[in-house]
Structure 1
Amino acid sequence: MGEPRRTILITGASAGIGAALARECAGRGYDLILTARREAPLLALADELIAHHGVVASVITADLAEPGAPAALVEEITSRGLSVDGLINNAGFSRTTGFLSTDPADHAAMIRVMLTAPVELSRLLLPGMTARGWGRVLNVASLAGQMPATGGDTLYGPIKSFLIKASQGLWLETQGTGVHVTALCPGYTYTEFHDVNGSREQVSSAYPKWMWMEADRVARIGWDAVEANRPRVTPGVANNVLAALGGMLPDALALRMVGGHAKRLDRL
């Protein structure tokens, strides 16, 4: 008998790094459960993956900003007779208009989508992975989680920092179980992310092309890392240098550096 087929659940799979990770996993022979708020792009992606790779790709729409959404998602997966062998927590967004200028409901939604949902989904799905002796959890964090927080996008970096630390803790807890846990920390990546939060023109003008990476390369590096059971991976030499600087610089200098980053965007 050959290896059993494994199924990976990907949140925020409709575009960007999530869609790139879906293509990467399908190319490696994994079946997929794709979830996001928008059904049409999920269905189109599922059709593409089925046609090109011959995998099973199921679509379940869910809004992880809604309280109770993670549990409802897992319940729907179970009702379809599916099991989850791997989890990619990718769904996310940001609000860059400033802490005091952002609707508190948007802050609450950010926290539920990017912090609460990954924790709840991991807690719901990890017992099955450990019982089967095989699992993969890839949490899509950010270079921002390794840097001082940026004024104007005040919650994004701290949320991603939490996700990195939580991933490292889970990595320690799951050693010897057959479950691998990795935090993926990309820097600037060509996706819809900056279009959604309205910063595409600013960030594209503010930073040179060598600082940007393609989503498919980020996805490949991320999945290689979780297969190798690395607790954290930061794609790209420049991003690793920035992450190292962020950890070594005194607070006053580091905050001045990211403060200059915010002002640079504001001037554009």
Structure 2
Amino acid sequence: MANGQKDNETARKEGTGRHALITGASAGIGKDLAEVFARSGFDLVLVARREKRLHEIARDLEHRFAVTVHAVTLDLSEPGAAEWLHNEMRMRGLNIDALVCNAGFGVAGFYRDTSWADQHALCQVMMTGVAELCHRFAPDMGARGYGRILNVASLAGFLPPAPGGTLYIPAKAFEIKLSQALALEYTGENVHVTALCPGFTYTEFHDVMGTRAAMSSMPRFMWMKSMRVAEEGYKAVMQGKPVHIPGRLNRFIAWLAWALPSPAVNAILRRQALYAKKP
């Protein structure tokens, strides 16, 4: 039997009789993570705002991988959404064995020029919501002796703050630190917590942000396909890595951000801010 076949059978056994809940599952990395978990034998709970798209994905995964997929339409920016979701899973009798917090977005423009409603929604989805979902689901996992939590952060979480998109980098840094802390907290309980930190990835994110043209000017070698990111994220959380940065180039960028002297970095960022303010 080929090694690939053995790996697939092992992965399928991992998910047998288990459920994975994935937020932001209607596109991009979240959609591909849903496929990876389904391929590995997990039944799924997919959560996103786009109802029609979510149900299309659910039907496709059920057909291709013979798993059960529950589609839950939910806006995670609404206060109380995480509590409702946890209660809903209990009412349906679904034990969540793997939690993937992938939902997220950015708010383009300078902080002062954006609405607080948009900034508050970002905080709710990418910080408060992630923290609450982990707080509600992780103890159940610990009690059952099995759990996998994958928080989709970003390479940006390792980088210095930049002008525009002001809260995005702090939010991603928060997800990384939260994941590291929880990984330590659940040591020895067979509950793995991982922050997945992709760099430039081909998804709809830049279309939503209105930055597709700018991002398209970046060299192609800097980009990764979202399925590769998803597969690496799945492997990392199964292996119990607290943090995983896909791609050698991205790992080098993270190291460079750590290694460069702060005054030099700040000088570069100040020049970038001044350039961005020019009409």
- TM category (shorter chain) comes to over 0.9
1:122 alignment counterpart: 134
Please list, as runs of the form range in 1=range in 2, the aligned pairs for 1:1-268 lying within 5 A after superposition: 5-205=17-217, 207-258=218-269
Cα offsets for 1:105-137 (capped at 9, x unmatched): 111000000001111011111111001100000
Distance 2:141 2:226 in 1: 27
Q: CA deviation at 1:166?
A: 0.7
Residue aligned with 1:230, SS: coil
Amino acid at match of 2:248: V
Amino acid at match of 2:21: L
Structure 1 264/136 Cα, relative in aligned 2: closer, same or farther at 3 Å?
farther
Cα offsets for 1:44-99 (capped at 9, x unmatched): 11111101101111011111110101001111222222111110000000012111
Distance 2:147 2:183 in 1: 12
TM-score (norm. length: structure 2): 0.91
Distance 1:152 1:129 in 2: 38
Gaps of 5+ in 2: 1-12
Structure 1 48/168 Cα, relative in aligned 2: closer, same or farther at 3 Å?
same
Residue aligned with 1:100, SS: helix
Q: CA deviation at 1:260?
A: 6.4
**Conserved in 1, the CA contact under 8 Å of 2:38 and 2:44?**
yes
Amino acid at match of 1:30: F
Distance 1:265 1:222 in 2: 34
Distance 1:45 1:263 in 2: 44
Distance 2:263 2:212 in 1: 29
Residue aligned with 1:252, SS: helix
**Conserved in 1, the CA contact under 8 Å of 2:163 and 2:272?**
no
2:4 alignment counterpart: none
Amino acid at match of 2:33: L
Residue aligned with 2:111, SS: coil
Amino acid at match of 1:185: C
Aligned-residue RMSD, C-alpha: 1.7
Structure 1 138/264 Cα, relative in aligned 2: closer, same or farther at 3 Å?
farther
Q: CA deviation at 1:31?
A: 0.9
Residue aligned with 1:85, SS: strand
